[in-house]
Amino acid sequence: MIEIDDITKAYEGTVVVDHVSLTIEPRSICVIVGTSGSGKTTLMRMINKLVEPTSGHIRIDGQDIAEIPAYELRRRIGYAIQGHGLFPHRTVGQNVATVPKLLGWDKKKTADRVDELLSLFQLDPAEFRNRLPHELSGGQQQRVGVARALAAGPNILLMDEPYGALDPVIRAKAQEDLLSIQRKFGTTVVLVTHDMEEAIHLGDKIAVMDKGKLLQFAKPEEIIAHPATPFVAELIGTSERPFRLLSLAKVADHIEAGEVGGEPIEASASLRDAYAELLWSGRPALPVRRDGSIVGQVTLARLSQLAARPQ
């Protein structure tokens, strides 16, 4: 658990993070969202002491980080940034091995871990471990950056706009990878983005920042349905609200009995994808497929109800 307790950061009298308090539950993803310069990165960097707070406290699993040396904290907390930050003259394998090496892991354990992580990120170790970062695509470099951050199995992973530079297809893939890896390892993730779509997709909870202040800290459903201020509502985009609500749930959770013809949709698809397909194909219902079999239908009528403002 990460407890941020009344934290403030000022640079020469200018307050950039202003009395922020929030508690991030273990094994959850907290996304910090807000406009440029709102203090997102500064807030996150206080968690691994890259920035020292002016006042306030941060506790990790009950321990005040003021009592933990910065180097120790940074070995315990993974950190991945936009543009990956890989060492350009070190191979992919050496990059991923950075923290295990600092921790004095033996060669075999380190090499096994590097290969495990590269495989996990769908980078064939034999093909990629000896390449230099510039011999990789942007998306591959980003994956190596996240693999490096996870190398020593940290409980906490901080990510600063990790997918900002990726094209939409690679970005969606990287987000799915993050979700599955987070579930696999149970990592607590704090991710900074200015993209509300990304925040809603990834966040168990979303922290909305503006001018150094925390405006709202809540589940995506709550932020969409009950934005705390007009600024939060604007950030969500009023015309986007129904679609954002639908993007939070899966077809699997809203299957109705009944048979209907035509091209099916997968149960794992989001309701938003189902809604788009219903509108695009002009059908009132789609058959739903799970593990290759048709298991029911999803209907336009039901999705229209689900997209309406929650009471």
- Least Å from the CB of residue 98 to ligand ATP: 24
Smallest gap from residue 29 Cβ to ligand ATP (A) = 18
Q: Which is nearer to ligand ATP, 7 or 96 (CB)?
A: 7
Minimum distance from CB of 120 to ligand ATP (Å)? 28
How far does the chain reach from its first CA to its final CA, in angstroms? Answer: 31
Q: What are phi and psi of 139, to 5 degrees?
A: -65, -40
Distances (CA, A) of 295 to 256, 262, 266, 285: 9, 14, 10, 13
Tell the smallest beta-carbon distance from residue 222 to ligand ATP (Å).
22
Return the number of the residue (50 or 120) whose C-beta is nearest ligand ATP. Answer: 50
Contact 39, 17 (CB under 8 A): yes
| All residues at 6 or more sequence positions from 62 whose CB lies less than 8 Å from its CB, including other chains | 1
What 65-74 contacts at long range (C-beta under 8 Å, 24+ apart), as own/partner pairs, is 73/48, 73/49, 74/48, 74/49, 74/50
Q: Which CB atom, from 99 or from 200, has the smaller least distance to ligand ATP?
A: 200
Q: CB nearer to ligand ATP: give 18 or 204.
A: 18
Q: Give 239's contacts (C-beta < 8 A, 6+ positions apart).
A: none
In the complex, the smallest distance separating the C-beta of residue 194 from ligand ATP, rounded to whole angstroms, is 5
Please report how close the Cβ of residue 43 comes to ligand ATP at its closest, in angstroms: 7
Q: Would you say 121 or 217 has its CB closer to ligand ATP?
A: 217
Select 44 or 97, whichever has its Cβ closest to ligand ATP.
44
Least distance in Å: CB of 272 to ligand ATP?
Answer: 26
Instruction: Find out whether 174 and 143 touch, Cβ atoms under 8 Å.
Output: yes
Q: Kindly tell me which of 37 and 262 has the beta carbon lying closer to ligand ATP.
A: 37
Say how many C-beta atoms besides its own lie within 10 A of residue 140's C-beta. Answer: 19
How does 16-42 read in b/e, with b if 16+ C-beta sit within 10 Å?
bbbebebebeeebbbbbbbeeebbbbb
DSSP string across 166-178: S-HHHHHHHHHHH
Under the rule (CB under 6 A), what is the footprint of ligand ATP?
11, 16, 34, 36-42, 194
